[in-house]
Amino acid sequence: MKLISWNALHGMAIPPVQESGAEQALLRLELAVKKLDVDLLGLQEIDHKQSRSFHIHHVQEVARSMESKYWAFAPTVIGTPGEKWHAVNKEESKIISPNKGSLSETAYGIGLVSRVPVMQWHRIELGRSRIGLPLAVPSKRGVGLAYVRDEPRIALVAELENGFTVAVTHLSFVPILNFLQLRKLQRELSKFPGIPLVIGDLNLPWGLPERTGWKSLANKLTYPAWSPKIQFDYLLLRKKDLSRVTIKPLAIKELGVSDHLPIGVEITEVKPK
């Protein structure tokens, strides 16, 4: 199974371009997904009917590009991050998939698309910081600083037919809290069947995720995309499960989308003889 995590920055071109409409934005996203050529794609910072992305349902369009019927979108907020938003309160809006949930409002969150059949979807709430921080954000003039209020953080979990259970997440940018969120997710994920994997933008530098007893399957500087200096994006497996799998690195082509680079591996379960 070729597995990739990607913070897609709502499909934004890097360097930024003057958008001409939904057709251009869709084509850029489609080309990026086809370059990845992946079996399972975990997505962070994706939009649902946002005006800034021409009201595109990102996860559904990625699934179309991957020719997959197994996909889900988990909104973290209703509204637009950095502007006006509120937490997801309706149970039917917490997981949106072809046969589960409904959502008519503008939203933002995380998603997962799989060519491997998904047996069950789950959502894990991880909380949020009550304080924000000044963060570097891409702009037409390059990079600027903006005060960003933290949004609720969650994980979207897929139990796969092939024996893996994958959780995609985008953790808080607030130090210490993000590490505690990761530990909570790892504890919760270990309750599910299958070999657990955590993938996503963890906002944890310097290999900190490996201090949890889990192994980083790919070591790659992922941020910022135009001159990577730090790894925020990870694929994590419990160290005790390393003997149960084989891992091959993936060479990922330049996409021209997002301020994060994708990160991925090919992972296969070793069946006992």
Mind listing the pLDDT tens digit for each residue in 168-186? Answer: 999 999 999 999 999 999 9
Q: Which CATH number belongs to the domain containing residue 228 in this structure?
A: 3.60.10.10
Q: Rounded mean pLDDT of the chain? A: 92
Contacts with 164 (C-beta within 8 Å, 6 or more apart), sequence order? 1, 116, 194, 195, 196, 197, 267, 269
Count how many domains the chain has.
Answer: 1
pTM metric for this prediction: 0.93
Question: Pick from 267, 271, 252: which is nearest to 34 by CA?
Answer: 252
CB environment 14-36: b (16+ within 10 A), e (fewer)? beeeeeeeeeebbebbeebbeeb
Contact predicate 103/94, CB 8 Å: no
Is residue 196 left, alpha or beta, with left meaning phi > 0 and alpha meaning psi from -120 to 50?
beta
Other CB atoms within 10 A of residue 272 CB: 5
Type of residue at 107: A
Q: For residue 145, is pLDDT > 90?
A: no
- d(Cα 7, Cα 15) in Å, to the nearest integer? 16
Range of the domain at 74: 2-269
First to last CA, the chain: 20
- Model confidence over 9-60: pLDDT tens digits? 999 998 888 777 888 889 999 999 999 999 999 999 999 999 999 999 999 9
pLDDT at 203: 97
Q: For residue 273, is pLDDT > 70?
A: no
Contact predicate 257/13, CB 8 Å: yes
User: Any idea which of 57-66, 100-109, 145-154 has the lowest mean pLDDT?
Assistant: 145-154
